Structure 1
Amino acid sequence: MTFGDFVRLSRAYVWLLIGCTILGSLLMIAKTSREPVLYAANASGFVKVGNATTAGEEQGNAQLAEDKANLYAFLVSKLPVAQLVVDDLGLDVPPEAIAGNFSASVDTSVNALTVTAVSTSPTDARDLANAVIDAVVIYAAQVENGGTTPKGDPLARIVPLEEAALPGAPFTPNYKKGAMQGAAAGLGLCYAVLVGRRLIDRRIRSAKHVEEATGSSVLGIIPKEDALGRGHRGVRGDLGRAAESFRQLRTNLRFVDVDNEPRRIVVTSALAGEGKSTVSSNIARLVAQAGTPVLLIDADLRRPMIASTFEIDGAVGLTQALAGDVDIRDVIVGSGLSNLSLLPAGRIPPNPSELLGSLRMKQFIEDLSHDYLVILDAPPLLPVTDAGLLSAFCDGALLVQAAGKTQIEQSQHCRRILDQVGSRLLGVVLNKAPVKGAAAIAYGGGYGGYGGYGGYKAEYASREAYSTAGKGRRKLTKLGRKS
């Protein structure tokens, strides 16, 4: 993951990150509130050994003072020292109850010892800190004298530097510190989950993923649009933000091979639900709108969609022509749009693969491609073999992949299938690309910029032309007229 990916991830999940930060802070504050109220007092002093009269003695005493200071720091939290403190202050508690409340640190540069005492009372904390300073020297002397208190002044002593003062406020619970720790933990955990999820995600989310998986270029990225999910799949012209993306796809498809322009194109996908029928219907409509005669064939004999999309009568179509019941050109119907003709699937047969892979199907497509740019809406590649059979005798295949749904391995398998049948992959269409939210980070913030074009006059003209396409065709059929 690059720094740019990290920034886009942060922008996409900004509210989730803020929420986790606040939640972590609140949880830590709640935990902190359960901590006891404690006060801490510090007393410090210099550790001094003897009275040196020469520089050599002074150096030796300094080294000994450093050793003594480290010894005192070690003994501060021991039970014997706590017992001496209890006796000195006349406390009615066992030494075990307060031994853990003492800690010490040493500054070896000046042989200074700082003792910290903790208690639930500020007065007790101050008294304990002052008492420990004296108690630790006494106990250290006893240890060095075989367990008895030595007579006379000890060799090493602590010269008071700063007696413990009465603490003004408790050091715990520290709500500010707890809130900051909780916020950092919440933010860090959220980032860990998001980055980990991103790294292990195997779904197609960007053009780079598609190109790495298939070795082919992305001819178009179609944003997710509500109109494309309706029954007419946007063929009435109300494509919204997807309109310009489909025009770009039309342009790119035209320049895939300028010298040998494909005349027979199979539109397929890895699995069902990725939008192949939507893409084939709209690209056929837009190419026809540009002046090229187009024939859109519903070659999905398992789940035909073209008849319902364009609202035509699909009872008779491709299957009857392949069976020899009717002539292929007699079942081609008008769409209501200029230069766009349709060949519905007809009756669903029990053997779709045999029909689509037949020699007659190949001859039909070759014959029709002389008069039309033939676009075949084929079944998905992975569940059935139909699309592979069709693409073998066509000029190439257009592979539709759903952003955030198609797995990288599925995309790779589609490419292998096309290679095995000797088909040419013209390119990939990345469909249902999110325009906002978390997944839009893969496309640099989505397609919000297209909104500024405001309506697309050509699309409205196309919608006007389509207004009577389907229903008018059905009425004419009922009257027995030829379309």
Structure 2
Amino acid sequence: MTFGDFVRLSRAYVWVLIGCAILGALLMVAKTTRDPVLYSATSSGLVLVGDATSAAEDLGSSQVAEDKAELYAFLVSKTPVAEQVVEDLGMDVPPAAIAGRFSASVNTDVNALTVTAIGSTPEEARDLANAVVDAVVVVAQEIQTGETSSRGPALTRIVPLEEAQLPGAPFTPDYPRAAIKGALGGLVLAYAVLIARRLIDRRIRNVGHVEEATGSSVLGIIPKEEALGRTHRGVRGDLGRAAESFRQLRTNLRFVDVDNEPRRIVVTSALAGEGKSTVSANIARLVAHAGTPVLLIDADLRRPMIASTFEIDGAVGLTQALAGDVDVRDVIVESGMDNLSLLPAGRIPPNPSELLGSLRMKQFVDDLSADYLVILDAPPLLPVTDAGLLSAFCDGALLVQAAGKTQIEQSQQCRRILDQVGSRLLGVVLNKAPVKGASAIAYGGGYGGYGDYSSFQEEASREADSTASRGRRRKAAKADRGDRGDNPAKPARAEKSDKAGKP
């Protein structure tokens, strides 16, 4: 994980991280409330040895004092010192109970001994700190001479520098420090879980994942947009933030191979629900708006979507043409949009793979590609073989992958299937890219950057499509009047299709 990934992860889960930090702080503060209230007091003194009368004696005394100071610091936390303190202060506690309350440090530059004592009250802490300084000298003398009482003045003494004072506040419980430690612990735990989750995540989340898995470039990144999830899948022109992304996909698709422009393109995905029908419908519409005659074929004979997307009658279509009941050009339906024609799936057959992989299907596609740019909305690659069969005799396949849904292994398997049938992978469309959070940055973000321009274009597109739809409805009304005998000179197309569709 790079530093950029870490920053994006932090931005994506900023509220989770804040929540974990607050929770950690609260838990640590709650735990700290159970700690006893303790006070700390400190006293210090200089360790001196004898009375030096010359420089040589002073140097030797200084070395002895340093050794003694180290000895005193070692003895401070021992039980004999605690026993002496209990005796001096007249305390009614076991010496072992207070021995652990004492600590000491030595400043060897001046042979200073600093003693710290802990008590349950300010007075107790002060008295213990002062008593330890005196007790440690007595205990050291007893250890060195083996006598319980010295007959003469001690060779070593501690001259007090600062006596212990009453502490103003307890040092524990320390709620601010506990809160900081708890917050840091909560953050560390949250980051550990998030980073581990991201490292074991095998879903496609950025362009690098796609290119590494498929070895092909990403031709377009389509953001999540509410309009694309509706029944008409945005073909009415209300693409919102996805409008400019689809135009970029159209441009990139046009320049995939300038010398050999693809005329027969299969649009497929790894699994259902990744948005292949949405991509195929909108790319067909936008290419048609650019002036290229486009035929969109619903080659998904298991779950056809084109008829409902464009609101046309899909009862008669590709299935009947492949069965030889009608001529394929007779079941091509005008979409009501300039340069865009549709070939619905027709009746759902019991053997879709055999029909789509037949020689007749290849002949249909070859014949129609002479007049149209043929785009086939094919079934997913992994569950069934239909898309592999279609892509074998087409110019290439456009693979749609859903960001945050498609697994890397699934993407790799799609590429293997296309290679096995000798198909060309034109590129990948990364669909449903998030527009918020850390992932939005990874996918480029800024989909609203051309908001005004895209809104203007989409408004014009919707107006054109609405006008075309009104014209289509007027044509349908005329045909309906012809069915009723109002215009016998023009037979209705729908009646012809129904008769042709009968076995």
> Which bracket does the TM-score occupy, shorter chain normalised?
over 0.9
Deviation at 1:286, TM superposition (A): 0.8
**Which letter does structure 2 place at the counterpart of 1:37?**
V
Partner in structure 1 of residue 498 of structure 2? none
Contact 2:266 2:387 in 1 (8 A): yes
Residue ranges of structure 1 left out of the alignment (5+ in a row):
none
Moved more, 88-97 or 396-405: 88-97
Q: How does 1:186-197 map to 2 (within 5 A)?
A: 186-197=186-197
Counterpart check, 1:317 vs 2:317: yes
1:459 equivalenced with 2:464 (yes/no)? no
Aligned AA (1:148): T
Question: Does the 8 Å CA contact 2:66/2:108 hold for their aligned counterparts?
Answer: yes
Query: How large is the Cα RMSD of the aligned pairs?
Result: 2.1
What residue number does 1:143 align with?
A: 143
Match of 1:273 in 2: 273
The correspondence of residues 440-479 of structure 1 with structure 2, limited to 5 A, is 440-453=440-453, 454-456=455-457, 457-465=459-467, 467-468=469-470, 479=483
Instruction: Return the offset for 1:258.
Output: 1.1
Is 1:172 the counterpart of 2:172? The answer is yes
1:303 is matched with which residue? 303
1:327 deviation in Å?
1.6
SS at match of 2:258: coil
Query: For residues 17 and 154 of structure 2, what CA distance do their matches in structure 1 show?
Result: 62
User: What SS class does the counterpart of residue 426 from structure 2 fall into?
Assistant: strand
Say yes or no: does 1:481 pair with 2:481. no
* Whole-angstrom distance in 2 between the partners of 1:444 and 1:105: 59
- 8 Å contact from structure 1 (residues 265, 398) kept in 2: yes
Distance across 1 between alignment mates of 2:396 and 2:413 = 17
Over residues 369-410 of structure 1, what are the superposed CA-to-partner deviations in whole Å (9 max), with x where a residue is unaligned? Answer: 111110000111111111111111000000111111111222
Equivalent-residue separation in structure 2 for 1:410 and 1:105 (angstroms): 65
Q: Which moved more, 1:472-481 or 1:41-50?
A: 472-481
Give 1:472 deviation, angstroms: 7.1
Q: Given the two structures, how large is their TM-score scaled by the length of structure 1?
A: 0.94
Q: Distance in 1 between matches of 2:85 and 2:127?
A: 9
Equivalence for 1:409: 409
For residue 314 of structure 2, give the secondary structure of its aligned residue in structure 1. coil
State the distance in 2 between where 1:482 and 1:183 align.
73
Distance in 2, matches of 1:449 and 1:21, equals 34
Q: CA 1:459/1:70 → structure 2, altered by over 3 Å: closer, same or farther?
A: farther
Identity over aligned pairs, percent: 78
59 and 409 in structure 1: CA distance in 2 versus 1, 3 angstrom threshold: farther
Report if the CA contact (8 A) 1:236-1:467 is conserved. no
Q: Residue 349 in 1 paired to residue 349 in 2?
A: yes
Amino acid at match of 1:481: A
Match of 2:77 in 1: 77
Q: Could you tell me how far apart the structure 2 residues matched to 1:445 and 1:192 are?
A: 26
Mapped partners of 1:177, 1:64: distance in 2: 41
Change (3 A) 1:476 1:63: farther
SS of 1:66's partner is: helix
Structure 2 counterpart of 1:235: 235
How far off is 1:260 after superposition?
A: 0.9
What per-residue deviation string (whole Å, max 9, x for no partner) do you get for residues 433-480 of structure 1? 111124313124442323343342332234424544887788788757
CA contact (8 A) 1:236 1:462 kept: no
**For residue 150 of structure 1, what is the amino acid of its counterpart?**
S
SS of the aligned residue for 1:116 comes to: strand
Q: Encode CA deviations 1:53-76: one digit per residue, 9 max, x unaligned.
A: 343433333333222222222221
Note the C-alpha offset of 1:341: 1.1
TM-score, length of structure 2 as denominator length: 0.91
Matches within 5 A, 1:72-471: 72-146=72-146, 148-453=148-453, 454-456=455-457, 457-465=459-467, 467-468=469-470
